[in-house]
Structure 1
């Protein structure tokens, strides 16, 4: 396949310290990319720094690091370090994140997420190009920041974007858009907002299992924990799932978690989670690509009939 084919690192069943051999395998399996995440596990940069040494042929990306849990200068320094370790191969993915991550877990302030993301993007483009930045943005002010050593090849910057305003910002001022929790049909709607010239990246949650009932039961917990977050609720309203997900939201707000899980229809689970045997999963991933996704980033879910290690191999484009 000629398009990108990414894998999420570290793997969900092991710490980074035991991931080297499998990460080293990724290029030979046909994976082009390795993408980190940053929620409450590994941070968004260290896994990529290690992968830069373990698998020098991979493109490396963060999907995503929040713009409100680090200061602008520190974010620029971290990005510059990765860009130095992997010249021309690092993509910095940033985004607004959520109130839980920014405020409840990191004692930050989740305010004006669109403006903060836009301002951080504009600051980073200047700082990573080696400019001295003294500027009052709408959401913060920077006075006299200049990287001690700017990267020879500034990283591309992509934005986490779920709805039209942020998607248009990604298309107009960044180098791409990152999204997740969507179906192949949803990809077409997202693609229409950014046009054909902008890279579209999405993390796809995959469970290699033919036990559909078991997968759905497990996946409902994942879906409820994400789709009840306001930004994701609004995203799926925009995608047209507002009414079908209304019973879940009502039960969740009432504190009845079990009722909320039961209210998620099978068809929603099947639309948003890739599952089946490995061949079925690969075919489903290709549906995303055919619908306009440039970079699928696979996130294998434990609990299927095969191990995560085997799933990584069986989901590879060269499988």
Structure 2
């Protein structure tokens, strides 16, 4: 890593885009992804977060197509790659594009990871191995929800990238992290003004996450009830974890995270098409206009 690399808080800016399609490795899509990355940079987004279980090599098309955009994994599951393999990939990408790649790590979920066991201890051991391989703490972030992992984000990483959270969670996370570490929550946006349609689109997406105890337990800690996390989520829960409505409402919801203590908000546009690898470039343009 370049010794002169700017602090992560400065390079990611206030807003970024979270998208699973940006990590696609189909050679036929490489040009499309490069064009999308270049446009995101032009639109003023400071970071692109490779959604789902992503890897450092998948950042290369975006980094090669841009000059200032920070690209991060959100997240790389610690169960999918050995720490030594992850470290080697980090160093390869960072050598080609110094200071522009950030390794986002997380423990995934018991239902999704075959070898899931003692996740906190496994994450600590993974960070120990990254330290031994000289992956700098200031270029890695953790997908932290609970207090212990947020403390780990503070002590062993550059900060936290919590997924599927509320401004109230952000405020609690900031208290644990303190002032200096990066706090960059993900937040979902539905650019739809009709409440019934917006909530239906959101509920289709949220239903899958509500089968994963890591998320439902976090919602319960935040004061939601068992009824809120059933049936795809109550309107109360939907309205807390998605921004929808007109431009003023969407902007205000995003700014709630900043007011609560977020340095950066990773925005995931939800379109309702069901295409998980979609690159919603028209919606990104609309969102950039809202934020400007």
TM-score scaled by structure 2? 0.84
- Counterpart in the other structure of 1:316: 288
Q: Deviations over 1:66-110 (max 9, x none)?
A: 11111121111121122122201111111111123221xxxxx10
The structural deviation recorded for 1:243 is 4.1
SS of aligned partner of 2:113: helix
Which structure 1 segments of 5+ residues have no match?
Answer: 104-108, 130-152, 249-259
- Counterpart in the other structure of 2:110: 99
- Asked if residue 59 in structure 1 is aligned to residue 70 in structure 2, the reply is yes
How many residues matched? 270
- Asked if residue 25 in structure 1 is aligned to residue 43 in structure 2, the reply is no
The 1:50/1:163 distance shift into structure 2, 3 A limit, reads same
Structure with higher Rg: it is 1
- Asked if residue 8 in structure 1 is aligned to residue 18 in structure 2, the reply is yes
| 1:136-155 equivalent positions in 2, closer than 5 A | none
| 1:180-191 equivalent positions in 2, closer than 5 A | 180-191=163-174
- Asked if residue 116 in structure 1 is aligned to residue 128 in structure 2, the reply is no
Which structure 2 segments of 5+ residues have no match?
Answer: 1-9, 274-278
The 1:128/1:9 distance shift into structure 2, 3 A limit, reads farther
SS of aligned partner of 1:91: strand
**Cα distance between partner residues in 2 of 1:112 and 1:283:** 39
- Counterpart in the other structure of 2:58: 47
The structural deviation recorded for 1:171 is 0.8
SS of aligned partner of 2:14: coil
Q: Deviations over 1:161-193 (max 9, x none)?
A: 110111111111211111021222331122222
- Counterpart in the other structure of 2:271: 302
The structural deviation recorded for 1:11 is 4.3
8 Å Cα contact 1:79/1:155 also seen in 2: no
The 1:206/1:51 distance shift into structure 2, 3 A limit, reads same
